[in-house]
């Protein structure tokens, strides 16, 4: 297990939120989290990974639940671990009562509450989730993501303002939870752009200073770039006293998931020692490759290797200011590739290719790289032509 050095990081005062044996906020040590990447329905494999992450120093371990089979595995997982478990409900908030007896915290995404029972208000759905949490001694995380924000807010502010809808969504849900007497929650506001992560969290912290914040750069991608992006956001926020718990989300194979914990502990130790940048410089090439962290929603483990292959293939374009997004599942893939110049989101046997929000078709894994290269060459040629005009 990695050592947990004392974290002398001055932080804003936030209220205490108990999550199993850990207390988030109220000056307690910053909690480090990770997430399993095995199918949750495979209880044995998921339990093994939970315990590996726990042994590596994860204060909280998150698992995703997308089906009743996933939910029904939690009882066996709970029996076999002392880890503090968080369940990620994603689009399946209706499974809350089924999973809550076996975990310490429920995480829901406000934007995903609109996918089912559309005639029912989000307030009714949140009231149900909070009631289940209270009945089962669970905390909540309100997890707001840039690529799946409240559709009404996204439409109101348009594509040029990703941060305001996130902040307003997080604030509305916090206000509502407080109004019904449920205060055992924290909030996260995540984006793949470190600058927007900093902006969103600082703005929310000013509006709701007492709410504990979970920090993360979503889809940070492959190491070392993913660690660099995350470090930049964390340094800027932690140095301002913002952040009570965090995760470094990396695209790595299952047997390397502990690297998320190692990276998080290193960043915390550096911030505590004052080893931070006085001038923010990403230190990255012009080409920005984002990819979601490996998790249990990935339907083909070839996704991780594909991300590596894309990085190698596109090395020739490193000086061009372009973004390529590689997503591992149908939950995050369709929406969270819209803002990339080129996007790939992976199904079990094929990869969907996009240019911005436009679909370019679906291709077998063995055919996607040449197709990606052709599209990338077209975009670069257009950029060169525009620059020379």
Q: What is the pLDDT of residues 26-50, one digit of tens each?
A: 999 999 999 999 999 999 999 999 9
Average pLDDT (222-244) is: 94
Q: Which residues, other chains included, contact 19 with Cβ-Cβ below 8 Å and sequence gap of 6+? A: 31, 60, 84, 86, 104, 105, 139
For residues 235 and 327, membership in a common domain is answered with no
* pLDDT, tens digit, 9 for 90 and up, residues 259-304: 999 999 999 999 998 887 654 554 555 898 888 887 777 777 888 8
For the chain, where are the E strands, in sequence order?
A: 17-19, 22-24, 31-35, 60-64, 85-88, 105-108, 139-145, 185-190, 213-215, 245-246, 288-291, 323-327, 342-346, 350-355, 358-364
Q: Identify the CATH number of the domain in which residue 263 sits.
A: 3.20.20.20
292 with 267, same domain: the answer is no
For the segment 317-365, what is each residue's pLDDT rounded down to a tens digit?
999 989 998 988 876 667 778 888 999 989 889 999 999 989 999 999 9
Strand ranges for 180-268 from DSSP E: 185-190, 213-215, 245-246
90 domain-assigned: yes
Q: Are 107 and 53 contained in the same domain?
A: yes
Q: Final residue of a domain: which of 205, 240, 272?
A: 272
Can you give the pLDDT at residue 4?
53
pLDDT of res. 8 = 62
Q: What is the pLDDT of residue 19?
A: 98
CA dihedral (222, 223, 224, 225) positive or negative: positive
As to burial, measured by CB atoms within 10 angstroms (0-12 exposed, 13-18 middle, 19+ buried), residue 313 is middle
262 and 307 in a single domain? The answer is no
Does residue 315 share a domain with residue 219?
no
Q: Flag whether 325 is in a domain.
A: yes
Q: Show which of 272, 303, 325 is a domain's final residue.
A: 272
HSE (CB half, 13 Å, CA atoms) of 22? 24
Tokens representing 201 are 């969290």
Q: Establish if 177 belongs to a structural domain.
A: yes
Domain count, the chain: 2
Q: What is the CATH number of the domain that holds 336?
A: 3.30.413.10
Residue 301's nearest CA partner among 249, 336, 261, 349 is 349
Do 268 and 298 lie in a common domain?
Answer: no
Residues 253 and 343 in one domain: no
Q: Which class for 388: exposed (0-12), middle (13-18), buried (19 or more C-beta within 10 A)?
A: exposed
Quote the CA–CA distance of 38 and 296 in Å, as a whole number: 5
Say how far apart CA 72 and CA 61 lie, in whole Å. 18
Same domain (yes/no): 266, 293: no
- Residue 177 · residue 126 · CB < 8 Å: yes
Residue 276: the pLDDT is: 77
Whether 11 is in a domain gets the answer: no
* Parent domain of 305: 288-388
Helix (H, G, I), strand (E, B) or coil at 354: strand
Q: Are 166 and 314 in a shared domain?
A: no
Residue 9 domain-assigned (yes or no): no
Residue 4 lies in a domain: no
pLDDT in tens, 83-119: 999 999 877 899 999 999 999 999 999 999 988 888 9
Q: In terms of domains, do 317 and 240 share one?
A: no
The residues that bridge with 364 in the sheet, in sequence order, are 350
Tokens of 53: 């992450």
Record the pTM: 0.86
Confirm whether 89 is domain-assigned: yes
- Both 243 and 379 in one domain: the answer is no
Structure tokens at 67: 């089906």
Among 245, 272, 299, which residue terminates a domain? Answer: 272
Q: Tell me if 283 is assigned to some domain.
A: no
Same domain for 375 and 233? no
């Amino acid at each position: 297990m990695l050592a947990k050095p004392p974290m002398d990081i001055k932080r804003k005062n936030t209220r205490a939120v108990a999550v199993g044996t850990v207390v988030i906020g109220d000056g307690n040590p910053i909690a480090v989290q990770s997430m399993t990447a095995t199918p949750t329905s495979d209880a044995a494999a998921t339990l093994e990974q939970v315990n590996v992450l726990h042994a590596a120093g994860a204060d909280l371990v998150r698992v995703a639940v997308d089906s009743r089979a996933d939910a029904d595995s939690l009882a066996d997982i709970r029996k076999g671990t002392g880890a503090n478990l968080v369940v990620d409900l994603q689009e399946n908030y209706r499974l809350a009562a089924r999973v809550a007896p076996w975990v310490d915290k429920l995480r829901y995404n406000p934007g995903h509450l609109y996918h089912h029972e559309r005639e029912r208000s989000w307030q009714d759905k949140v009231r149900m989730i909070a009631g289940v949490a209270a009945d089962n001694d669970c905390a909540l995380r309100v997890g707001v993501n840039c690529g799946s924000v409240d559709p009404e807010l996204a439409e109101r502010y348009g594509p040029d303002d990703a941060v305001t809808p996130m902040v307003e969504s997080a604030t509305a849900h916090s206000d509502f939870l407080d109004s019904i007497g449920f205060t055992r929650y924290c909030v996260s506001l995540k984006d793949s752009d470190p600058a927007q992560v900093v902006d969103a969290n600082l703005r929310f912290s000013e509006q709701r200073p007492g709410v504990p914040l979970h920090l993360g750069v979503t889809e940070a991608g492959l190491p070392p770039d993913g660690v660099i992006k995350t470090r930049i956001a964390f340094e800027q926020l932690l140095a301002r006293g913002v952040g009570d718990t965090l995760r470094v989300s990396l695209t790595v194979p299952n047997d390397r998931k502990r690297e998320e914990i190692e990276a998080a502990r290193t960043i915390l130790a550096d911030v505590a020692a004052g080893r931070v940048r006085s001038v923010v410089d990403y230190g990255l090439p012009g080409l920005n490759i984002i990819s979601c962290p490996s998790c249990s929603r990935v339907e083909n483990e070839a996704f991780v290797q594909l991300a590596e292959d894309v990085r190698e293939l596109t090395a020739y374009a490193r000086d061009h200011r372009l973004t390529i997004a590689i997503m591992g599942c149908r939950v995050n893939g369709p929406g969270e590739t819209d803002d990339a110049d080129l996007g790939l989101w992976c199904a079990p046997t094929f990869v969907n290719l996009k240019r911005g929000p436009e679909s370019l078709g679906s291709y077998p894994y063995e055919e996607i790289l040449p197709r990606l290269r052709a599209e990338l060459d077209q975009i670069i040629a257009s950029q060169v032509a525009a620059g020379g005009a």
